[in-house]
Amino acid sequence: MKFYKYQGAGNDFVVIDDRAKTFPVSQAYIALLCHRRFGIGADGLMLLQADEQYDFRMVYFNADGSEGTMCGNGGRCLVRFAHDLGVIGDTTTFIAIDGEHEAAVTPERISLKMINVTGIDRQEQYDFMNTGSPHYVTYVEDLANYDVFNVGKNIRYGEPFGSKGGTNVNFVEVTGPQALAVRTYERGVEDETYACGTGVTACALSASLRLGFEKAIDVQVKGGALRIEFERTGNDTFENIYLIGPAVKVFEGEWKA
């Protein structure tokens, strides 16, 4: 089986051209492929499939082999993959688990349009919203030394989120005007990742609500720099949200089971 490895700001993925729909979907098999000791190693696995109504279909699996919700950096990497294959030109419309997405391709970056966001749950200590995946956003100091793994794990499995399938957990530090640093504990990976696209999207929208940040926010993650652009169209309603950043092919190879 031929596979490809892509990364977006350090968020890395095994990518498969599955337009023939021959990939043997199995949670144990996908978890093995994503394993960093016994497999290829990745935060998740994506299938690029053919679709009659769209340029392609994105199917995403978490590193534990479970089928995931939307992955923003994964979506950007799959757009790069589709462009590398010649499936798309410099613009595309594709379908994912959370609906239709548009994207634009340049050599330096992929700009991915995210779903509209509304119905944000604003609490004193955190904001909670769905940006294609569920995200908890809280603000901390000294982010570089924060215990993201243990605090994130407790929130992810604790109530009120644990009984509803859990949540991704984002820790945010304000670093300047229109600028944030973010670290994320991701469910399905069950660890901190180098970046989370739907997560930094949630953090940017939270910063708009809490801090009055507008239109474009630069976000530093462990794996590099991302940018969120958006329009705030109501008290907690956002449209024309774009996740922007690099997406790079790392290598390709063959897997012999």
Catalytic residues: 71, 196
Helix axes 197-211, 72-85, angle to 10 degrees: 130
Is-contact 206 245, C-beta < 8 A?
Answer: no
> Which H or E run includes 75?
helix 72-85
Nearest 5 degrees, angle CA 132-CA 133-CA 138?
Answer: 120
Pairing of strands 216-221, 224-232: antiparallel
Q: Choose among 14, 1, 26: nearest CA to 78.
A: 14
Is-contact 204 182, C-beta < 8 A?
Answer: no
Q: CB neighbours of 24 closer than 8 A, spacing ≥ 6? A: none
Report how far residue 88's alpha carbon sits from residue 1's, in angstroms, rounded to the nearest whole number: 23
Report how far residue 39's alpha carbon sits from residue 27's, in angstroms, rounded to the nearest whole number: 14
The beta strand positions in 55-187, using DSSP E, are: 57-62, 91-96, 99-105, 110-113, 121-122, 127-130, 134-139, 168-176, 179-186
